[in-house]
Structure 1
Amino acid sequence: MVEIRAVDASCHDAVAELFTANNTVAGCGCMYFVLPNKEFSAGWHNRANRDRLLAELSERPPIALVAYSGGRAVGWCAAGPRERYARVLRSPLMKAREPAEDGAVWFLPCLFVRAGERRKGVAAELLAAAVGVAREHGATAVEGFPYVGGEKRATGEAYIGTEAMFAAAGFTLRARPSAKRVIMRVDF
């Protein structure tokens, strides 16, 4: 059993530690879908992306949820209004979206579960909690663009989830924009 919390300033130290769990999350700092490529790339090796994330933890609405086990952060789910994720909005996968919804529809672009905590349902609990937090903050829907199917993915690909994981959390198929990715959605 994990405890899920929407991030705020009180999560700073736990999130900072979580985002040193491996080189990918330390470099990304969950900024890939937020920043322009040049700025994102410049922040990869000096941890500027992670530092920017830590500076944004107290934004409202929250920008993510954190899963804790035994007082330690073990998982992360980025979540917020679709308009926050500029790279998502430019993605060919999302070209069929309704731009007028970008402020009201929340998007879940990234999930991370610490090694040793995977395959325990943490990601599923994060997805379910993200839906609840989005609803509490007035979202009209929540979307993600996971991989098709449900097979296990390499760690570097697993961060967007799978169709089966999203379906188990109550998301329904909205579109199949590519052979590898689907748009999944929960409407309120």
Structure 2
Amino acid sequence: MVDLDRADPDDADLDMADVGPDNLAALDRLFATERSTRHCWCMAFCRSGPAFAAGWYGGGNRRHFEAMAARGPMGVLAALNDEPVGWCACGPRARYRAAARGRSRPLTLIPRADDDQVWLVACLFVARDARGRVALPLIRAAVDLARRQGASAVEAWPVSSSTRRRPEWAHVGREATFTRLGFTIVGRPTPDRAIMRLDLSG
């Protein structure tokens, strides 16, 4: 069995925090480093296509994120020397129903009966200078958050480890990273994508 509490060498230098209303400013600093995150605010899979597009400019997606954060944690933020370097969006699968309705083919194949009990690691974003060192501890922290919130399992939808170049969907993570943390494949909707799951009920 994989020990999710085992620290990797990089973990000791990282501070992890659940993201809610009190630390949105730090998340804003991280998102401001790239155009896509600056406008997306991880709402692509939480809102309908038209609503997400309308919120791309003018701060609509950020305001929607803030409203959701007032109701519960939206994910995990990693900081190094007080500077935000990584983000993992995670929450009950019910939060990401916009993706399941067709915005992401892998999610359309997941049975929906337990959407409120099963969590999804929906997205990862790591600052350029920290890439290659932060994703694994971020996912570990996301699993810990899910467990504390009473989730029965955590799912992910990463790209295949056989993909050599950084793929377009790199923000969903790599299969090998989730495998290291004990996730197992429960479906492969396309050759380069997997549906993976970690049971927390044991």
Q: Normalization by structure 1: what TM-score? A: 0.91
Partner of residue 20 from structure 1, selected from 11, 17, 32: 32
Report the Cα distance in structure 1 between the residues aligned to 2:80 and 2:98, rounded to whole angstroms: 32
| Maintained 8 Å contact 1:83/1:89 | no
Pair 1:54 & 2:66 matched: yes
Query: For residue 79 of structure 1, what is the aligned residue in structure 2?
Result: 90
Alpha-carbon spacing, 1:169–1:107, altered in 2? closer, same or farther (3 Å): same
Tell me which residue corresponds to 1:166: 178
Structure 2 match to 1:109: 122
Q: Measure how far apart 1:153 and its partner are.
A: 4.6
Q: Is the 8 A contact 1:29 1:51 kept in 2?
A: no
Q: C-alpha separation between the residues in 1 aligned to 2:150 and 2:129?
A: 35
Change (3 A) 1:52 1:157: same
User: Is the contact between residue 118 and residue 155 of structure 2 (CA under 8 Å) also seen in structure 1?
Assistant: yes
Contact 2:99 2:108 in 1 (8 A): no
Deviation at 1:51, TM superposition (A): 3.2
SS in 2 for 1:53: helix
Percent of residue pairs identical: 36
State whether structure 2 residue 5 is matched by structure 1 residue 5: no
In structure 2, runs of 5+ residues without a counterpart are 1-12
Post-superposition offset of 1:44: 1.2
1:93 partner SS: helix
* Cα gap change, 1:128 to 1:152, in 2 (>3 Å): farther
Separation in structure 2 between the aligned mates of residue 179 and residue 59 of structure 1, nearest angstrom:
37
Q: How many pairs does the alignment contain?
A: 186
Residue in structure 1 matching 2:112, options 80, 99, 106:
99
Q: Following TM superposition, by how much is the alpha carbon of 1:129 offset from its aligned partner in structure 2, in angstroms?
A: 0.9
TM-score (norm 2): 0.85
Gaps of 5+ in 1: none
Cα RMSD, aligned residues only: 1.7
Equivalent residue letter for 1:25: T
Tell which deviates more after alignment, 136-145 or 91-100.
91-100
Q: Compared with structure 1, are the counterparts of its residues 129 and 150 closer, same or farther at alpha carbon in structure 2 (3 Å cutoff)?
A: farther
